[in-house]
Chains A and B, each alone.
Chain A
Amino acid sequence: GEDVEQSLFLSVREGDSSVINCTYTDSSSTYLYWYKQEPGAGLQLLTYIFSNMDMKQDQRLTVLLNKKDKHLSLRIADTQTGDSAIYFCAERKEGGGNKLTFGTGTQLKVEL
């Protein structure tokens, strides 16, 4: 199908690690992205990974890519209350316009 799939909710305790998962659709996607949306705000790019990589680390964020299974994950280490937000994965497909296809978003709730 055409959908990029994510689970809708994730709840973690402050200080724990969070893992947000995404299944994308197109094995030819060249870039995969993670965006964060805080309440009432637009989307902010967190990180991205090029399709010839299988891991990318950026401070507390680790992105893992399994091309065979078309599975992408975002791990947030030492999750803080400020990490509470909706997280979207997105894939860039080949073709004109740099169009992205977004997942449905995962609402991360960080509890004290």
Chain B
Amino acid sequence: NAGVTQTPKFRVLKTGQSMTLLCAQDMNHEYMYWYRQDPGMGLRLIHYSVGEGTTAKGEVPDGYNVSRLKKQNFLLGLESAAPSQTSVYFCASSFPGRAYEQYFGPGTRLTVT
């Protein structure tokens, strides 16, 4: 099992460019999440999904869109990147049971210049 994988690992964008981050999980988890991590601020939830075809806003959703067309994939889109979106982005997945623990991907480091 690969667990949770993220593509790409690094990316540099110019202000106004768009991109999509891909998250994939092979654990058949129902729930998936996108977080951003900024120094001194911990992880903040951007969007999440409780199942295929569903998405919901998290704590900091502005400037991002998401889609969950397949259960194993969760895409995060930036339509018009801004320097404030420079961050490390983490995807996670969980199963609605047991201790609800979330499993994390290795992260994508995004720089917007």
Residues of chain A at the chain B interface (Cβ within 8 Å) = 4, 8, 31, 33, 35, 40-45, 48, 50, 88, 92, 96-100, 102-105
B-chain residues with CB within 8 Å of residue A45 when the two chains form the complex: 101-103
Near A by CB (< 8 A), chain B positions 37-59 give 40-45, 48, 50, 56, 58
Complex contact B90–A43 (CB within 8 A):
yes
Complex contact B40–A8 (CB within 8 A):
yes
Report 13 cross-chain contacts, Cβ distance below 8 Å, ordered by A residue: A31-B100, A33-B99, A35-B104, A42-B106, A42-B107, A43-B104, A44-B104, A98-B96, A98-B100, A99-B48, A102-B42, A103-B42, A104-B41
Residues of chain B at the chain A interface (Cβ within 8 Å) = 4, 31, 33, 35, 40-45, 48, 50, 56, 58, 90, 92, 94, 96, 99-107
Interface centre among A48, A92, A99, A105 (most CB of B within 10 A): A99
Which single residue of chain B is at the shortest CB-CB distance from A6? B42
Complex alpha-carbon distance, A102 and B33, angstroms: 13
**When the two chains form the complex, which single residue of B40, B45, B96, B103 contacts A104, counting CB atoms closer than 8 Å?**
B40
B-chain residues with CB within 8 Å of residue A8 when the two chains form the complex: 40
Complex contact B40–A99 (CB within 8 A):
no
Interface centre among B35, B45, B101 (most CB of A within 10 A): B101
